[in-house]
Chains A and B, each alone.
Chain A
Amino acid sequence: MNSITEEILKEITDWDGIFSGAYSLRENGECISFQNSDNIRIVKKEDKSGIDIYISSAAKETVYIPACVTKSAVEDVVYNDFHVQSGADVVIVAGCGVHTDAEEGSAHNGIHRFFLEKDSRVVYKEKHVGIGNGAGKRVIDPVTYAELEENSVLEMETLQLHGVDRTTRDTKAVLGRGAKLKIHESILTDKDQSASTKFLVDLNGDDSSVDLVSRSVAKDDSVQEYSSVINGNVRCTGHSECDAILAGNGRVNASPALNAACIDASLIHEAAIGKIAGEQIIKLMTLGLTEEEAEEKIIAGFLGA
């Protein structure tokens, strides 16, 4: 593992020199180290780059799947499939960092599929960062597909705070009876960065539910696009909320859609885009913060950073 990988790991995970339990560490397009646990087995794919992660019913633990790109001119594409057996209850810490100090950029595209069996539960944490001083673009384009069987629960917490020049995020999920999907996505862009995020959720099982919260901050000349489609095909509940803060010349386009195809589908959408309210800054200034400190606190709180 090189020193840049160490730097990235510290930022995107709680790594302190060692991963206890199951993990797979990817560096510049190759798995450089992995470890199984009693309940989690990691198997390298034969036909393409990536791994299958088999999580047994007895698993009640955290598994780490970080990916690091530490140099320019890397185009990494990885296919990771998570097979979560009935009754398992795990935390998956993924995340990716792309570093370049050169004129040429680098990219990491993680294509993750989740198959959650009945009554399983997964918390998925993903943090994306870009670092280094080169002019090359740092690109991260994650694709996520999730199938949730009866009464399974998937919570996704995704965070992109700095340094990623371009990102296109594509998330799809299909929910069975009683399944629950909770997504909290936070994206900050600045300079001339751009971010596009798309969600498509099919609520196909009675009493399934989705709670989709997206928070974005677009500073300087950056641009963000958000689109979500929630299809309520049965008796279900869906809630989506996309809030954005604009600063400088930042732009945000939001296109939420709700499609109810059943009389008992209950779908709600909330959206708010605008600059930081002046009264919020003033309130924090009356507590002794400067205007800049107040803005930082408001944005950090908003993004859950």
Chain B
Amino acid sequence: MLSLRDIKLDLETKENLLNGVSLDIMPGKLTVITGPNGGGKTSLAKLIAGLYVPTSGQILLDGEDISHMSVTDRAKRGIAYAFQQPVAFKGITVRNLMEMASGTEMHESALCRILDRVGLCAREYMDRDMDSRLSGGEMKRIEIATVLARPAKYLLFDEPEAGIDLWSFSSLISAFEDLKKDEDRALLIISHQERILNIADNVAVIREGVITQYGTKDEVLPNLMQGGGCSPKGKEMY
């Protein structure tokens, strides 16, 4: 289990980004964190992945305090993180990136299995550079695929729906539903989308650095459904 204990986070640019957040993320469960922009969702994900160090509080990974552990060591202990904004690399191919993610050489069939889940054909993409010649949507899908390729126990996705077309989004929902079946892996998804919230086991609402609601999907969702605009991917909750 990944546990956040009374986490506070101040950065030079902003104080009270997180202000006493406690949360348990359990294997075999899909937890969705939602809430208004600027509420602290991405800060929370970055904190778990090690990009930020908490000002106070503890992060426990299967009982071990990882609060001050490096990004690399957290990755090696089984935390995988899909960035909201994919990173471009000149000269690093999709295959290179996927092999770094999986930690092994990958044959075309293995690349196919992963990339197919995000709606990409491995044969078409594996030798292409992960750079600006790919569209934003393509890069986003590859970013998600790097996490799907990781042999990690805790999978974090920061707004996976952003920049993704409708067809790929449906494919992504299926991928998340498949991952949910694995009792040994925990999914944490930051999202505004109703369709992602609908496949959640647990939902946390974070607002102004504080978790204002937490419970099962059935407990939390009815309160959220009263607002929000409609989009083909489902309602935008915030």
Contact = CB atoms under 8 A, between A and B. Distances in A.
Contact of A286 (B80, B90, B103): B80
Contact of B87 (A283, A297, A300, A302): A283
A280 B76 contact: no
B90 A243 contact: yes
* Chain A CB within 10 Å, residue with most, of B96, B100, B146: B100
Interface of chain B, helix or strand or loop or mixed? mixed
A288 B72 contact: yes
A287 B101 contact: yes
Contacts of B121: none
Given A287-B75, A289-B72, A290-B72, A280 B87 contact: yes
Contacts, number: 60
A76 to B, nearest CB: 32
B75 A301 contact: no
B150 interface: yes
Contacts of A282: 51, 71, 87
A92 interface: no
A297 B49 CA distance: 21
Interface string B90-125: 111100110011010000000000000000000000
Interface of chain A, helix or strand or loop or mixed? helix
B81 interface: yes
B87 A287 contact: no
A288 B87 contact: no
Nearest to A279: B87
Given A279-B87, A280-B87, A297-B100, A285 B92 contact: no
A277 to B, nearest CB: 8
A286 B86 CA distance: 13
Contact of B90 (A287, A288, A290, A302): A302
Given A301-B89, A303-B91, A304-B91, A284 B100 contact: yes
B176 interface: no
A291 interface: yes
8 contacts: A279-B87, A286-B49, A286-B50, A287-B100, A288-B72, A301-B90, A302-B90, A302-B91
The list of the 3 closest CB pairs from A to B, nearest first, reads A301-B91, A301-B92, A288-B75
Interface of A: 215, 243, 277, 279-280, 282-291, 297-298, 300-304
Given A286-B49, A303-B91, 11 more contacts: A282-B87, A285-B70, A286-B50, A286-B80, A286-B81, A287-B100, A288-B72, A289-B72, A301-B89, A301-B93, A301-B96
